């Protein structure tokens, strides 16, 4: 069985997504993690387009990749230029990467109406570019941009563009659904035609059939499905990005397509042991991009193996396969049981066991805890989205909670000058093992100021708080009919290098609710290292 080649373009195509940007050093860190996972090709960027990508390739020359081949990206030569005179192609050669990826046009609309070129000249641009790069001793991947749209509009010509790349010696030809509008059955039809056209064509000097890849965008929510369909139809390379980042609706999500290929389709990609690194990679890229992780992301999301209904939990305690399609550990994820007003005692017992908490202390067994949780949820608490607060709650009920700090008092002030934005100041007094600490800090708002003040005070007693930060803050009004006197619940999501946790606070006062959620978040973090 042919190995499926994985080609990651997070560092180039992924950065075209809204609000996604990486420094050169950050790109290098991600590349090293992709290499450790076992990705075959890493596309580092477009050295001819911006100084940052050029700097990345300069830095990458110092790294010896174990599993991956680094690729630089660019376009075919410009019309009217010889390849050796094209600045873009010169930058590709100077990048020093063993692999060069270039894209060319497959759709006559783009060639004639957008570029103002001729169909004949476009074929010559493809052929000249691939021949030139091959002459410089590089592995060449040709990306047929807008291939599926071009195939629908003028199938004969779209296939001719692939033949031009094949005749010039391209090692792999990638079919791109650049607009993300193709459907799986259209992918299959086009792939069949491509295989018939190129099936007997041999790569120059290697005597092997030209290999086909797939590059899908997610504008119809079908990027992963289209990639899987292409593999079933003969593609041997899948291009995509970590977490599906990319322009508009993104690209094929590598964190989904890799488990599908390796575990569901039994297509060899890399060692199965490496799959367990997938969740950590997903969260690292989210953290580096400063993006909030999607809890419902398949395979690697926090909720991918989460169970809430009591019937479900009772079943998975007997046999996880009853409500899970695979073992979460295979992709480095974990099973989670959520506790809410829909829970039964099975949920509480499972969750307590997961957290290492003995039930029955202080007269609280699982049935009584369920009753208390349902009462609290009537008041506005929501523990299925606040696992950190739930742990602390159970520890308190069973006399196992050992606070790492106690609040003595805090004061928050907000000041607004006529011509200046609001500023917030917080003063806090806490005690740790009988020792008191008073600190003050500023922030962009009252909660930010309170967070900064608490962090500042705790740093006098505990280390490793630098790795912890708040990544999400939400406020929900429970009954708007009460107006400004309504109870609110505040959700805070926090993370460090290895973990994500959520906490909740409920009160008629938004600052007090925020404090409860904030305090639980820090208690949870500190307890992990106690």
pLDDT 10s digits, 262-304: 999 999 888 778 999 999 999 999 988 988 889 899 999 989 9
Residue 1 has what pLDDT?
Answer: 53
CATH number, domain 5-263 = 3.20.20.70
Query: Quick one: 406-528 is in which CATH superfamily?
Result: Alpha-isopropylmalate synthase LeuA, regulatory domain (3.30.160.270)
Which residues belong to CATH 3.30.160.270 in the chain? 406-528
Residue 362 reports pLDDT greater than 70:
no
Residue 444 reports pLDDT greater than 70:
yes
CB crowding 435-467: b at 16 or more within 10 Å, else e: eebebebebeebbbbbbbbbbbbbeebbeebee
What ranges make up the beta strands (E) of 20-68? 41-45
Please name the residues in contact with 19: beta carbons below 8 A apart, sequence gap of 6 or more: 289, 291
Give the residue among 251, 368, 381, 275 at the shortest CA–CA distance from 329: 275
Residue 194 Cα distances to 104, 141, 144, 165, 184, angstroms: 17, 16, 12, 13, 15
Burial of 275 (0-12, 13-18, 19+ CB in 10 A): buried
Mean pLDDT over 155-164 rounds to 96
Which residues belong to CATH 3.20.20.70 in the chain? 5-263
Residues 433 and 526: their CA atoms lie apart, in Å, by 14
Which of 72-81, 339-348, 420-429 shows the lowest mean pLDDT across its residues? 339-348
Which of 31-40, 389-398, 502-511 shows the lowest mean pLDDT across its residues? 389-398
Helix (H, G, I), strand (E, B) or coil at 234: coil
Write the DSSP symbol of residue 202. B
Which of 333-347, 414-428, 430-444 shows the lowest mean pLDDT across its residues? 333-347
Residues 125 and 155: their CA atoms lie apart, in Å, by 19
Mean pLDDT over 336-344 rounds to 67
Please check whether residue 471 is in contact with residue 292, taking contact to mean a CB–CB distance below 8 angstroms: yes
Mean pLDDT over 70-74 rounds to 98
Instruction: Give the dihedral sign, CA 147/152/154/159.
Output: positive
Residue 481 has what pLDDT?
Answer: 61
Q: What is the pTM of this model?
A: 0.76
* Percent with pLDDT over 70 in the chain: 94
Please check whether residue 326 is in contact with residue 298, taking contact to mean a CB–CB distance below 8 angstroms: no
Residue 34 reports pLDDT greater than 70:
yes
Mean pLDDT over 225-253 rounds to 97
Residue 344 reports pLDDT greater than 70:
no
Residue 364 reports pLDDT greater than 80:
no
The mean predicted confidence, pLDDT, of the chain is 90
Higher pLDDT, 479 or 456: 456
């Amino acid at each position: 069985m042919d190995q499926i080649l994985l080609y990651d373009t997070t560092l180039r195509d992924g950065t075209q997504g809204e609000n996604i940007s990486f420094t050169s050093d950050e790109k290098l860190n991600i590349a090293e993690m992709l290499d450790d996972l076992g990705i075959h090709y890493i596309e580092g960027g477009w050295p001819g387009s911006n100084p940052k990508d050029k700097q990345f390739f300069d830095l990458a020359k110092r790294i010896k990749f174990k599993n991956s081949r680094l690729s630089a990206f660019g376009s075919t030569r410009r019309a009217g230029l010889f390849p050796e005179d094209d600045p873009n192609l010169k930058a590709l050669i100077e990048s020093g990467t063993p692999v060069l990826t270039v894209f060319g046009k497959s759709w006559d609309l783009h060639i004639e109406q957008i570029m103002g070129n001729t169909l004949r000249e476009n074929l010559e641009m493809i052929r000249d570019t691939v021949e030139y790069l091959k002459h410089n001793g590089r592995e060449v991947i040709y990306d047929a941009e807008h291939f599926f749209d071009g195939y629908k509009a003028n199938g004969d010509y779209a296939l001719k563009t692939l033949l031009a790349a094949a005749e010039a010696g391209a090692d792999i030809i990638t079919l791109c659904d650049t607009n993300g509008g193709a459907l799986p059955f259209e992918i299959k039809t086009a792939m069949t035609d491509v295989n018939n056209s190129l099936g007997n064509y041999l790569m120059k000097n290697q005597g092997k059939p030209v290999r086909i890849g797939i590059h899908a965008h997610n504008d119809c929510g079908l990027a992963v499905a289209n990639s899987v369909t292409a593999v079933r139809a003969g593609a041997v390379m899948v291009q995509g990005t970590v977490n599906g980042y990319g322009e508009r609706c993104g690209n094929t999500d590598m964190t989904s397509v890799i488990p599908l290929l390796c575990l569901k389709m039994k297509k060899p990609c890399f060692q199965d042991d490496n799959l367990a690194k997938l969740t950590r990679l997903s969260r690292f890229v989210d953290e580096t991009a400063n993006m909030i992780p999607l809890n419902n992301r398949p395979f690697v999301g926090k909720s991918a193996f989460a169970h809430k209904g009591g019937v479900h939990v009772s079943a998975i305690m007997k046999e996880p396969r009853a409500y899970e399609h695979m073992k979460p550990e295979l992709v480095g994820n974990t099973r989670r049981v959520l506790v809410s007003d829909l829970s039964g005692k099975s949920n509480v017992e499972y969750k307590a066991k997961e957290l290492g908490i003995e039930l029955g202390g202080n007269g609280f067994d699982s049935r009584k805890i369920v009753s208390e949780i349902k009462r609290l949820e009537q008041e506005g608490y929501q523990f299925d989205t606040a696992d950190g607060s739930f742990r602390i709650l159970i520890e308190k009920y069973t006399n196992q909670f050992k606070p790492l700090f106690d609040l003595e008092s805090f004061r928050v002030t907000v000041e607004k000058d006529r011509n200046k934005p609001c500023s917030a100041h917080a003063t806090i007094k806490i005690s740790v093992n009988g020792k008191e600490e008073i600190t003050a800090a500023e922030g962009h708002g009252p909660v930010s100021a309170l967070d900064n003040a608490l962090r500042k005070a705790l740093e006098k007693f505990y280390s490793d708080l630098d790795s912890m930060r708040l990544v999400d803050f939400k406020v929900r009004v429970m009954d708007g009919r009460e107006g400004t006197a309504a109870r609110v619940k505040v959700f805070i999501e926090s993370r460090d290098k290895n973990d994500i946790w959520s906490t909740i606070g409920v009160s008629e006062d938004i600052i007090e609710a925020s404090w409860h959620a904030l305090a639980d978040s820090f208690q949870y973090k500190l307890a992990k290292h106690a």
